[in-house]
A and B are shown apart, each in its own frame.
Chain A
Amino acid sequence: AQSVTQLGSHVSVSEGALVLLRCNYSSSVPPYLFWYVQYPNQGLQLLLKYTSAATLVKGINGFEAEFKKSETSFHLTKPSAHMSDAAEYFCAVSRGSGTYKYIFGTGTRLKVLA
């Protein structure tokens, strides 16, 4: 069975500091992995996705994530946090094309301190 674990339900960083949001997955088949961002009372917006092409994936708003099979991880990073990055972030795994279901992590709320 597949699963996703996001370590840290709340993360605080100072403006300009590195953002690191952790995601570990469990999958018996090569996974597709996703990071989404959600601002208060809004839907989810895709940040980036891993689809077995490059292991380092660049997304929108300066975010990137690296797929590490040996560590079953897909951590999200951004070199310099901005106040507008404050939101909730969700990691998700899909079994691949033709499969319609995602498994979502429980989310990490990012707070950016001035």
Chain B
Amino acid sequence: DGGITQSPKYLFRKEGQNVTLSCEQNLNHDAMYWYRQDPGQGLRLIYYSQIVNDFQKGDIAEGYSVSREKKESFPLTVTSAQKNPTAFYLCASSTPNPGVSTDTQYFGPGTRLTVL
């Protein structure tokens, strides 16, 4: 089955530690995204990547870093510089090819990060 997987589902971190969230897709999508979700604030874009080895900052990139070495994978690192990292993190992907799709983003199940 094609889809997006995120691991782990729950993650606990001590203050001052970096942590990496995994996102893998087997949909052959070119574009991938990371969102942060907080209660009452909807989804906010952290980083996105349109193609392998390229990525751009979203609206709230400070304290986060990403890499895109493979088409299938887009890991997110939450660094110790992120002041309030406790949140639900969602990964998504899409294939913006004209005539094939209309930019629909497909989401993974999410990772809930809690900083202790």
Contact = CB atoms under 8 A, between A and B. Distances in A.
B94 A43 contact: no
Contacts, number: 62
A106 B109 contact: no
A101 B40 contact: no
> Interface majority SS on A: helix, strand, loop or mixed?
loop
A105 B42 contact: yes
A106 B39 CA distance: 9
Given A34-B104, A43-B107, A107-B42, A100 B94 contact: yes
21 contacts: A34-B104, A36-B107, A41-B110, A41-B112, A42-B109, A43-B6, A43-B109, A43-B110, A46-B106, A90-B42, A94-B103, A96-B103, A97-B98, A97-B102, A98-B98, A99-B96, A100-B103, A102-B43, A104-B43, A107-B40, A107-B42
